[in-house]
């Protein structure tokens, strides 16, 4: 196995290394211009000398709602798939509300001058991931609500089967409830297994 150690070179840019001989220690300072700029506010990602938020700002309600919409929509969809439609419906409705309010809301940084961009457009280039999260939340919320409503529609359409199955005290009585189902794909899916 070859030796992977590399020789020490004076050009190493290791921020954790000790300073070279004869050079005093320097106090830690945050990096400036982390978005590719040169620290004077005129680098890439800057608009008009004023930098927009480059990352997620948890204090901004619009960005928070976009993330909440995505999370609630995903969990609502999972609850809908795993057969808990009431929780799926609740989370889907919340995700729908948060997604719409994130797309239409006004960020905390905007003061509300006339003609100023509203919603996620006011964030500039930083709005793309938030818009994606809000739209994804809307899509998953719609799916969660659709799953919950279809589950409730099935329970309403085949109410006799569900009442019979829930009231059955033995396995044979539960199997007799299968006669209340239609002879199609839905009946085969809902059928009590033997």
Do 163 and 150 fall within a single domain? no
Do 106 and 132 fall within a single domain? yes
Instruction: Give the Å distances, CA to CA, from 122 to 27, 35, 63, 127, 162.
Output: 37, 19, 11, 8, 51
- Give the rounded percent of residues in the chain with a pLDDT score beyond 90: 33
* 142: its two tokens: 């719609």
pLDDT average, residue stretch 76-98: 95
Instruction: Give the Å distances, CA to CA, from 125 to 38, 69, 141, 147, 179.
Output: 18, 20, 26, 35, 60
Q: Is residue 176 part of a domain?
A: yes
Do 140 and 175 fall within a single domain? no
Residue 117 has pLDDT above 90, yes or no: no
148-180 pLDDT per residue, tens: 999 999 889 889 998 998 899 999 998 889 888
Dihedral sign of CA atoms 89, 90, 96, 99 in order? negative
User: Structural domain of residue 132, as residue ranges?
Assistant: 58-110+117-156
Higher-scoring residue by pLDDT: 161, 12 = 161
Backbone angles phi, psi at 50, to 5 degrees: -115, 125
Q: Is residue 105 part of a domain?
A: yes
pLDDT average, residue stretch 183-193: 85
Cα distance between residue 174 and residue 23, in whole Å: 84
Cα distance between residue 21 and residue 94, in whole Å: 60
Do 96 and 172 fall within a single domain? no
**pTM beyond 0.85:** no
Backbone angle region of 116, left / alpha / beta, with phi > 0 → left and psi within -120 to 50 → alpha: beta
Q: Measure the CA dihedral 180/185/190/193, to 10°.
A: 90
Least confident of 36-45, 61-70, 113-122: 36-45
Dihedral sign of CA atoms 94, 99, 105, 107 in order? positive
Q: Is residue 34 part of a domain?
A: no
Q: Is residue 123 part of a domain?
A: yes
Do 62 and 137 fall within a single domain? yes
Total domains in the fold of the chain: 2
């Amino acid at each position: 196995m070859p030796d992977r150690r590399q020789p020490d070179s004076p050009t190493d840019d290791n921020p954790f290394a000790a300073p070279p001989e004869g050079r005093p220690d320097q106090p830690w300072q945050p990096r400036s211009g982390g978005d590719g700029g040169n620290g004077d506010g005129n680098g890439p990602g800057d608009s008009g000398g004023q930098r927009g938020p480059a990352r997620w700002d948890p204090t901004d309600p619009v960005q928070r709602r976009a993330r909440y919409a995505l999370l609630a929509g995903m969990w609502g969809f999972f609850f809908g798939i795993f057969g808990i439609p009431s929780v799926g419906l609740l989370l889907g409705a919340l995700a729908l509300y948060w997604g719409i309010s994130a797309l239409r809301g006004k960020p905390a940084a905007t003061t509300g001058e006339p003609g100023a961009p509203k919603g996620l457009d006011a964030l500039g280039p930083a709005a793309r991931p938030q818009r994606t999260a809000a739209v994804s939340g809307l899509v998953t919320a719609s799916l969660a609500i659709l799953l919950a409503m279809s589950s409730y529609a099935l329970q309403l359409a085949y109410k006799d089967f569900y009442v019979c199955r829930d009231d059955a005290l033995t396995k044979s009585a539960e199997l007799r409830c299968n006669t209340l189902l239609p002879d199609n794909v839905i009946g085969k899916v809902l059928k009590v297994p033997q």
